[in-house]
Amino acid sequence: MLFSQVIGQDAIKRQLRLSAREGRIPHAQLLAGKAGIGKLHLALAYAQYLNCPHRTDEDSCGQCPTCLQYQKLQHPDLHFVFPIVKTDAGDTCDAFMEPWREMILEHGYFDLEDWYSQLGVETKQGLIYEKESSEILRKLSLKSFGDGYKVMIIWQPEKMNAACANKLLKLLEEPAPRTVFLLVSEHPEQLLSTIQSRVQLIRVPSLPTETIAAELQKEGVAPQEAQSIARIANGSYLQAQKKARQTEEDQQELHDFIELFRDAYTVGVISDPQKKYESLGRLRQWSYEMADSKVGREKQKHFLQYAQQQLRENYIRNYAQEQLNYQLPAEHDFSDRFAPFIHDGNVEQIMNQLALAERQIEQNGNAKMIFFDLCLQMIVLIKQKKA
């Protein structure tokens, strides 16, 4: 991967190139930031730049044998670690290298949910298991293919189980010569504090709206629409791509959000007993459908994150400041009717309940109980009066 192929992030590119040119290369760096802003691509471009024998001040040459191997993600000194779900295929990352390379080379920017979908395991949560630490040690103990650096890229290191994290810590404490660890994380605070203290943190910022809009236009999105989507994407090119596609799954999240609060309002506010009974039954069914194993915990968490974002947008709508709202037309239409019910008297409590449900799903709680309890909480909170 060339630096020129990474969208935006010019300041980070300059920082990485300068460290390579001056020979000030930390043995372990942590690139941290939200999903879809190019952290993994920066790590790949940096790894290629470190090892390119004909690099310029601006980029790798892109033509030498080393660059060609890096661009195919097949250089012998380039290694990857990423979350997996144990299957009959294997229980280490080596067994999943073919779909991993395909994910990067063909799909570009992606997140955990996309990766699990690529593996066909949307109903489970992946981990980096203890056995992977032994593989890391084995690979880094091998003699280098050339005179360059051995690079170990760990994507989503916060997904390491405790045993693996502790073994990685020992490797970071006693790094092998000419070995570089590049950790690519969305939630660096979840890493062991001892690991955080042994890596150089690089905060990768969100992408500017103008940069995202320009990239969308290159993909054929009309200028006005590209500008609108880029603004809603909140700095993530991945989210902009997903908004531009507006898949059936994206529309389903809005549908689920509307169903939850429509029926919670009916049960909590409407006086008609028959309507209350019917809506309560729909909420019970909604919670069961959300908890279905076919949905998967990653999609359940994604919905709860989406609901929190929509709650924020509806609260802001009450202040009639359109420039502060980030919604698509369908979301905006629903907010015309829903926003007055989200106010100072309940917004914080509703947000807390959604965040709590997300944490409980993350901790493998009983999804059916979590979502039905969320429904009951929404019934109480939606009828709260303004503070």
Per-residue H/E/C for 144-195: CCCCCCEEEEEECHHHECHHHHHHHHHHHHCCCCCEEEEEEECCHHHCCHHH
pLDDT digits (tens, 9 = 90+) for 305-336: 999 989 998 998 888 776 676 677 778 888 88
Q: Tell me what the mean pLDDT of segment 155-163 comes to.
A: 92
- Phi and psi torsions of 33, nearest 5°: 165, 180
Query: What would the mean pLDDT of 278-289 be, rounded to a whole number?
Result: 94
Across 348-359, average pLDDT: 96
How does residue 387 score in pLDDT terms, banded at 50, 70 and 90? Answer: low
- What pLDDT, on a 0 to 100 scale, did the predictor assign at position 82? 95
In this prediction, residues 53-67 reach a mean pLDDT of: 93
Please tell me whether residue 200 adopts helix, strand or coil conformation: strand
Mean pLDDT of 191-202: 92
Domain spans in the chain, listed from the N-terminal domain onward: 3-205, 211-241, 247-382
Confidence of residue 123 (pLDDT cuts 50, 70, 90): low
* Whole-number pLDDT of residue 32: 96
Q: How large is the average pLDDT for residues 83-95?
A: 83
Residue 376 has pLDDT above 90, yes or no: yes
Q: What is the pLDDT of residue 331?
A: 84
Question: Tell me, what's the pLDDT at 249?
Answer: 58
**63-72, 131-140, 315-324 — which is least confidently predicted?**
315-324
> What percentage of the chain reaches a pLDDT higher than 90?
61
Stretch 344-369: mean pLDDT: 94
* pLDDT at residue 292 in the model: 87
3-class DSSP state of 209:
helix
Between 232 and 380, name the one with better pLDDT.
380
Where does 3-205 sit in CATH, by number?
A: 3.40.50.300
Return the DSSP state at 386. P
Q: Is the pLDDT of residue 122 over 70?
A: no
**Cα separations (Å) of 228 from 34, 237, 238, 241, 326?**
20, 13, 15, 12, 9
Reported as a single tens digit per residue, the pLDDT across 214-250 is 999 998 888 888 888 888 888 999 988 888 876 555 6
pLDDT band at 154 (very low <50, low <70, confident <90, very high): very high
Query: Do 368 and 288 meet the contact criterion of CB atoms below 8 Å apart?
Result: yes
